[in-house]
Structure 1
Amino acid sequence: MKVLLRYLIYALFALIAIPAMGQQKQGYIASLGRQNRWVDSVYRKLSKKERIAQLFFVRAHTDRGQAYEDSVGYVIKNEQVGGLVFFQGGPVRQAQLINRYQKLAKVPLLIAQDGEWGLGMRLDSTISYPYQMTLGAIRDNTLIYKMGQFIAYDFKRMGMQMNLAPDMDVNNNPDNPVINFRSFGDNKYNVAAKGIAYMKGMQDGGILTTAKHFPGHGDTNVDSHLDLPLLPFDRKRLDTLEEYPFRQAIKAGISGIMIAHMDIPSLDSTKNLPSTLSKPIVTGDLRDLLGFKGLIVSDAMEMKGVLKYFPDGQADVRAFLAGNDILELSENSERAIGLIKKAIRKDGVTKKEFEARVKKILAAKYWAGLNHYKDVSTDHLVEGLNRESAKALVQQLCDNAVTLLKGDGSTLQLNPLQKTAVISVGVTQPTIFQQELSQRWYLNSDMYIVGKATSADQLLDLLVKLRQYDQIFVSINDTRPRPASKLDYSNGVKLFISELASFQHSVICVFANPYTVAGLPGIEKSGALIAGYQMSDEMQRSAVKVITRLIDPKGKSPVRINQYFPSGSGVTLK
């Protein structure tokens, strides 16, 4: 009874309203159609060089020491760039640095960060919401909208105005090395619906959003951080699949879209030309054909995918001429500003076109409230970012995502009085999953740990021992910071898992990327199989709740795993 009461309290916390946030009366896209005196006034006061500088967002960190922080401050003061993109660090240090940097800018800086799963994607001591692949399993999109509101509150509390999210790539390539778990899945309709719910939650909460990576980075096997991927598909395929979520997001009023670094011959036949630098793609396809009026943001201009064929500032100039509004993370912003100033004269960029692009950035600053900028308060900052209602929402999201791929009530909730083994694979110490099952539910149980490379002899000895048990629960865990589509286990450990699945009365829970199930032949033979998508304490608790029938599994697999578990797989217990 006490356990049930505890979980009811968790559910109650999830319903608690988040701290009050100012609701925007008008979306950013709609605001662009109105004259803005603040924007006009600021624009008139800027020199041509300073106007160009508004297009540039530079990298910032709080984990690289004082010299690095000072170098960024120098760039802000001397170049008067438009914004910053913050990466790794801590919340208090970052808030203090934002206050310092804003004092160096004539026009308030637009502060952005990659927060696909919230502040925890970049900052320590903050909450990480579930990965987008995990969210892709959820059926109730209102929960994802609510998460967007929570993340908007966190961003505003940190003095940031723009989240470089959501990822709206359709991940239809299980071997994708750069998107994968960052995507909502392989179903374009699900990706669009989830991305729009997340985007609307954030924008209604008062921050700018950026769908990425147009026209779609989900079917590549090359990481554009390291090289230039080739997207060999024809226009019909791109129109109907890759671009679908972006088209829907545009209709829904998304404020920004990020361009990928990819070679796409069907859209621009120029050899080795990244899509970021292609006018037919950036202006012709996104701006003109799809009618997008918001901020077009380049992917990082320091990535190898764009620099490989266009070094020494060429990439920055071509990205500007292609139609990008924000040039993110230039290798050398000072050089790029000078080169673009020359290119405007040489390539005949009209005064009207240039003015419209700069004013679009200034309008974004106005929409986000930077016309009345205030310093970030660091009082109780960490406590506010780790509020109980946010923790409860993370648990609620996991409860709604956990998926029963195979099984029913009888094969899932085994006899708590029988001799039970609870095994965790891929770890070095007992897991939350083991502790919850052994200490609260299956008291006649023993816990075992199997490492990623446990020797064959040890595995054989353990298999002999496990045959003495009436039933076993197994958790398969990916402890890596980013859950890849293949587990880093030895072949011996993978065969061991296959043997466990063949045991009568076996229940296996996979706290890893769902694609990893395909790399574990025989796992489908287990009595029950649960997909947990990622190794987090909350997801492990969700799986235990399903096993012990405290909740019914509601999740559906967001991707095709193999022939046994197509996209949308998931058993619902009555």
Structure 2
Amino acid sequence: MRNVLYSLIFFIFSISLSAQQSGNPLLAKDVNGQKQWVDSVYNALTLKEKIGQLYMVQVFSDQSEANKNKIIGLIKDQKIGGIIYSKGGPVRQAKLNNVLQAASQTPLLIGMDAEWGLSMRLDSTFSFPWNMTLGAIKDPKLIEQTGRQLGEHSKRLGVHFNFAPVVDINTNPKNPIIGNRSFGEDRDNVTEKAMALMKGMQSVGVLSSAKHFPGHGDTASDSHKTLPTITFNKKRIDSIELYPYRKLIKEGLSSVMVAHLSVPSLEARDGYPSSLSKTIVTDILKERLGFKGLIFTDALTMKGVADFVKPTFDGVNSGSVNVGGEIDLAAFLAGNDVMLMSEDVEKGINKIAEAYERGAITDERLQLSVKKILLAKYKVGLNKYEPIGTANLVEDLNRIKDYALYETLMEQAITVAHDDKKLLPLRHLETKNIAYVSLGDDDGTPFYEELKKYGKVHKIEDNNLDVLIEKLQNYNTVIVGFHKSNDNPWKGYEFTNKELTWLYEIARTNTVILNIFTRPYALLDLESITNIESVVVSYQNSKVAQEKSAQLIFGAFPAKGTLPVSAGPYFTVGDGIQKNSLNRLAYTIPERVGMNSEKLNKIDAIAQYAIDQKMTPGIQLLVARKGKVIYNKNFGKHTYDGTKVVESDDIYDIASLTKIVATLPLLMELEDQGIVSLDSKLSDILPYYKHSNKKNMTIKKMLSHYAQLKPWIPFYYATLDSVTNKPSSKYYRTSRKPGFTTEIAPNLFMRDSYQDSIPKIIKDTELLSHLRYRYSDLAYYIIKQYIEKHYDRPLNEVAQDHFYKSLGANHTLYNPYKTISNTKIAPTEVDDYYRFQKVQGYVHDMGAAMQGGVGGHAGVFSNANDIAKIMQMYLQKGYYGGVRYLKPETIDKFNTCYFCEKNVRRGVGFDKPQLGEEGPTCGCVSMTSFGHSGFTGTYAWADPDEEIVYVFLANRTYPSSKAKNMLLREDIRTDIQKAIYEAIN
């Protein structure tokens, strides 16, 4: 019987404990241990020490020694319960925190305003997007992840309470203090995002605090400066402002911060602050909403409460409630647990103690608040307090995964708010002539630089509107970036009258994409959007926001964001036009595609070694994975003794890469159309060879280098003077003359008729005696001849019109000397055997030079970014930028080794991985991979299995191509390739 009774008592106790735990968010999993610790600490405190626990004072980690000593005095003499840190730095705060904790007999509860990260208060720390930005994101899991990582930062710095999330529903666009700090104007969206942020923070042991109760979202004034008034009736407040609190409380909200507001419908006393109202704090929050967590006042130094004046209070004539700690007492009597940033802690403690002694405060009431504070301290681990370690602190607060998340958040948030002509994302780049105009606080350099990665975009600026409009007449698309300060969420966001005038005038005469890099309320200034074709809202003006906006405009990723607020008659909350990706390359960090940044940085050392050892003057390096460029760096200079450093928009003679970026795609296109096939014989496609020894060669054999063609013919030898070994006057002139218009170098023009001699020499050349693999350029002379005959146009023009223009490969061209400054072209050689001058902007390959710079095997100049676009198109089976260039089956045909059993490692045009030990790759790539290398040091490789594109451009032939190819001998390019694969997680 006794055992049954004990079991029943235990059962009832368990139920009671469970009920208590489910209702109190401050209870730890170890409830019994927590209760014992709380009781032991509480019972050891004197009355004033208990009251001291109710206080959390403000501390600046960059303050003077005198101020630090003042805080230590408050800790030792007044036994305050906590610290709220403000401005400073993380290392300084950590060190100061260790000192302050050591001075306290009861561990201090540490709080911070870190709504979008510790950067809200501290330098050298990470800033996540503002709440308004997060409000545009559909996926709450991303917000929860944000809360988790934000919480991890807080925990690392010893912060136990983050005064977030803001759950104010910002229904007033002119709200001076909330605005961007709100998730938006829709209560359900605000609640969902706040809930997710709360859960994320609390999942890592950092307590949250919903604010500003009962709701600061529809105010026209700032409670830091005055007492704002909320004029809504009870029904409206209950259904809108209180809605998020009701939901979050049910899900374990740790604390609530009460605002300093005048709410006549809830508090009958005129001008009475909500933070001092028992009706609002106790009757509504604690009793009606059933909240059992900690209740913080907002800062008691704020004018909204600090200037509160009442003739009498608590039976004491005081004039101003701010005299002698009356506000602190009033706040406590209202039901608050923690007095945040009291103006006079000692007076406040004394005032509360006096009220306790005369019976105005019961022991039960004091015990309730103090024990809640102690429960919170136990829950965050202060029963086992350890000092904060400062080693790697800054690095721990700025992790790669934080940058990765920031990028993801911005991609998900950016909103296409208007696009009535379906202009976005930009397609048909061959038809686009794009200008960029900057309005606002800065010139939007990151935005502009990112735009240029995708297409031909020119920045147009002038202080005179008429001149600007005239300049814009040369463009059919104008992107207007409206850039406002990103320093903090309170910065101005409005258009000036001048900016609006300029915008309307630009839109009147041009097709315009308006991209605003500020809060969506800026759209309120638009009186009309009739002439504005597209509007993109990017919410913030950070570098990442600008870069991601450019990527979205060109379709590198889909548009998913929706407006979290309404902005005038044209833009309503929830608006957001969803746009699909066009599968153009995006730009991101390695971790977002399953790679390791630290391991990938090994590439830097290899590339720098090549520069230091003078294997090449300069290098452009690019790595992409899963459609995203994750590494894009430059090394060295254009020349060893020069000053021009390599930049991303510099171009290189890509030598034999020409074969796979010019000739091969055009041939595949013809195969697509059924005009040729891999089994087409040379005599069938070019009757010119009908009676030659090459008539039965197939395209497959020629481009697999298995057709007995000679590797190379030095055509230029025959045009040199036999005595001087310099260009013969029979074939060359030093200026353009009739019959001598083929320009092969500055002041060197070749006889035009020699163009017919090259194919004749090839036609009449003997074949190799044995059928075996032998790499040969001659096939590409022949294929070029066929392509030009078929289209009746030069190869360079066909390549531009069929591929480069629409791909946005605007740095890819033949004969760049005609249109590009030499300052942007890496020189390839100081020629001492043919042209006898520096070769820069003219093709290095002699045979291609003799064809006017346009060869099927060489002649193209490009940068790494453009080559990556072409390789990515191949990787995506012929699709890029919304355009189907080639059929997947055609890509597969050409990426097949048909003579592998004959020791041929080549596909049709493409190089393939080696079958044995030596070859063109690191040996770590898949057998489905393909690419090519070039004589000047260039290399491009794509791997479908790992979705990797790797581009290496160099001018290792400068100053002399006769020097040993140390890039090849020391395996620089393939060692880098190996490092890429080693960086895969």
1:59-74 equivalences in 2 (<5 Å):
59-74=58-73
- 1:311 correspondence with 2:325: no
Partner residue in 2 for 1:140 = 139
Conservation of the 8 A alpha-carbon contact between 1:208 and 1:256: yes
Aligned residue for 1:355, secondary structure, equals helix
Deviation at 1:548, TM superposition (A): 1.3
Conservation of the 8 A alpha-carbon contact between 1:436 and 1:544: yes
Deviation at 1:30, TM superposition (A): 6.1
1:25-174 equivalences in 2 (<5 Å):
29=25, 31=27, 34-35=31-32, 36-174=35-173
- The equivalent position to 1:371 in structure 2, one of 383, 388, 391, is 383
Deviation at 1:416, TM superposition (A): 3.5
Percent identity of equivalent pairs: 40
Aligned residue for 2:25, secondary structure, equals helix
Partner residue in 2 for 1:355 = 367
Aligned residue for 1:394, secondary structure, equals helix
Deviation at 1:303, TM superposition (A): 0.4
Deviation per CA, 1:533-553: give whole Å up to 9, x if none: 111112112211211111111
Partner residue in 1 for 2:433 = 419
Conservation of the 8 A alpha-carbon contact between 1:414 and 1:471: no
Partner amino acid, structure 2, of 1:230 = T
Partner amino acid, structure 2, of 1:346 = R
Partner amino acid, structure 1, of 2:222 = D
- The equivalent position to 2:333 in structure 1, one of 314, 321, 342, is 321
- 1:290 correspondence with 2:289: yes
Question: Per the alignment, do residues 314 and 76 of structure 1 end up closer, same or farther by CA in structure 2, a change over 3 Å counting?
Answer: same
Partner residue in 2 for 1:6 = none
Conservation of the 8 A alpha-carbon contact between 1:170 and 1:188: yes
Partner amino acid, structure 1, of 2:122 = L
Partner amino acid, structure 2, of 1:311 = N
Separation in structure 1 between the aligned mates of residue 461 and residue 148 of structure 2, nearest angstrom? 39
Using CA pairs below 8 Å that are at least 6 residues apart, which structure has the higher relative contact order? 1
Deviation at 1:480, TM superposition (A): 5.3
Separation in structure 1 between the aligned mates of residue 391 and residue 579 of structure 2, nearest angstrom? 47
Conservation of the 8 A alpha-carbon contact between 1:199 and 1:209: yes
Partner residue in 2 for 1:460 = 466
- The equivalent position to 2:577 in structure 1, one of 526, 546, 571, is 571
Partner amino acid, structure 1, of 2:27 = S
Partner amino acid, structure 2, of 1:410 = L
Aligned residue for 2:405, secondary structure, equals helix
Partner residue in 2 for 1:553 = 559
Partner residue in 1 for 2:252 = 253
Deviation per CA, 1:247-302: give whole Å up to 9, x if none: 11111110000101011111111122100000111000100111000001100000
Partner amino acid, structure 2, of 1:103 = A
Deviation per CA, 1:505-537: give whole Å up to 9, x if none: 311110011001111333463221100111111
Separation in structure 1 between the aligned mates of residue 184 and residue 86 of structure 2, nearest angstrom? 25
Conservation of the 8 A alpha-carbon contact between 1:507 and 1:527: yes
Higher helix share: 1
> Structure 1-normalised TM-score?
0.91
Partner residue in 1 for 2:350 = 338
- 1:273 correspondence with 2:307: no
Conservation of the 8 A alpha-carbon contact between 1:57 and 1:82: yes
Conservation of the 8 A alpha-carbon contact between 1:211 and 1:254: yes
Conservation of the 8 A alpha-carbon contact between 1:498 and 1:521: no
Partner amino acid, structure 1, of 2:451 = L
Aligned residue for 2:429, secondary structure, equals coil
Q: Give aligned pairs, total.
A: 542
Deviation per CA, 1:427-485: give whole Å up to 9, x if none: 344421111112x112x3321458xxxx6xx2332222222222111110111533459
Deviation per CA, 1:284-340: give whole Å up to 9, x if none: 010011100000110000000001123222211100110100110000111111111
1:165-204 equivalences in 2 (<5 Å):
165-204=164-203
- The equivalent position to 2:496 in structure 1, one of 490, 496, 517, is 490
Separation in structure 2 between the aligned mates of residue 303 and residue 546 of structure 1, nearest angstrom? 42
Partner amino acid, structure 2, of 1:134 = T
1:426-465 equivalences in 2 (<5 Å):
426-438=440-452, 440-442=453-455, 444-448=456-460, 458-465=464-471
Separation in structure 2 between the aligned mates of residue 144 and residue 110 of structure 1, nearest angstrom? 26
Aligned residue for 1:77, secondary structure, equals helix
Partner residue in 1 for 2:535 = 529
Separation in structure 2 between the aligned mates of residue 51 and residue 411 of structure 1, nearest angstrom? 62
Deviation per CA, 1:76-115: give whole Å up to 9, x if none: 2221111000111111111111111100100000110001
Q: Which moved more, 1:312-321 or 1:367-376?
A: 312-321
Separation in structure 2 between the aligned mates of residue 134 and residue 524 of structure 1, nearest angstrom? 26
Partner amino acid, structure 2, of 1:185 = G
Separation in structure 2 between the aligned mates of residue 523 and residue 393 of structure 1, nearest angstrom? 33
Partner amino acid, structure 2, of 1:435 = E
Separation in structure 1 between the aligned mates of residue 470 and residue 105 of structure 2, nearest angstrom? 72
Conservation of the 8 A alpha-carbon contact between 1:202 and 1:208: yes
Separation in structure 1 between the aligned mates of residue 489 and residue 507 of structure 2, nearest angstrom? 22
Higher alpha-carbon Rg: 2
Partner amino acid, structure 1, of 2:351 = L
Aligned residue for 1:175, secondary structure, equals coil
Deviation at 1:197, TM superposition (A): 0.4
Deviation at 1:70, TM superposition (A): 2.5
Question: Per the alignment, do residues 66 and 461 of structure 1 end up closer, same or farther by CA in structure 2, a change over 3 Å counting?
Answer: farther
Separation in structure 1 between the aligned mates of residue 530 and residue 115 of structure 2, nearest angstrom? 32
Deviation at 1:348, TM superposition (A): 2.7
Deviation at 1:573, TM superposition (A): 1.9
Partner residue in 1 for 2:418 = 406
Aligned residue for 1:100, secondary structure, equals helix
Deviation per CA, 1:209-248: give whole Å up to 9, x if none: 1000011000110100000111111111110111101111
1:377-396 equivalences in 2 (<5 Å):
377-396=389-408
Aligned residue for 1:305, secondary structure, equals helix
Aligned residue for 1:58, secondary structure, equals strand
Aligned residue for 2:122, secondary structure, equals coil
Deviation per CA, 1:395-439: give whole Å up to 9, x if none: 10111000001126534415534432112212344421111112x
Deviation at 1:499, TM superposition (A): 2.2
Conservation of the 8 A alpha-carbon contact between 1:56 and 1:82: yes
Separation in structure 2 between the aligned mates of residue 30 and residue 89 of structure 1, nearest angstrom? 29
Separation in structure 2 between the aligned mates of residue 516 and residue 257 of structure 1, nearest angstrom? 31
CA RMSD of aligned residues (A): 1.9
Aligned residue for 1:510, secondary structure, equals strand
Deviation at 1:32, TM superposition (A): 7.3
Separation in structure 2 between the aligned mates of residue 249 and residue 96 of structure 1, nearest angstrom? 34
Partner amino acid, structure 1, of 2:457 = S
Conservation of the 8 A alpha-carbon contact between 1:174 and 1:485: no
Deviation at 1:355, TM superposition (A): 0.8
Query: Unpaired runs of 5+ in structure 2?
Result: 1-20, 309-320, 581-985
- 1:508 correspondence with 2:519: no
Question: Per the alignment, do residues 347 and 491 of structure 1 end up closer, same or farther by CA in structure 2, a change over 3 Å counting?
Answer: farther
Separation in structure 1 between the aligned mates of residue 85 and residue 559 of structure 2, nearest angstrom? 37
Partner residue in 1 for 2:779 = none
Conservation of the 8 A alpha-carbon contact between 1:501 and 1:522: no
> Structure 2-normalised TM-score?
0.54
Partner amino acid, structure 1, of 2:342 = S
Conservation of the 8 A alpha-carbon contact between 1:414 and 1:505: no
Query: Unpaired runs of 5+ in structure 1?
Result: 1-24
Partner amino acid, structure 1, of 2:569 = Q
Conservation of the 8 A alpha-carbon contact between 1:429 and 1:449: no
Conservation of the 8 A alpha-carbon contact between 2:481 and 2:514: yes
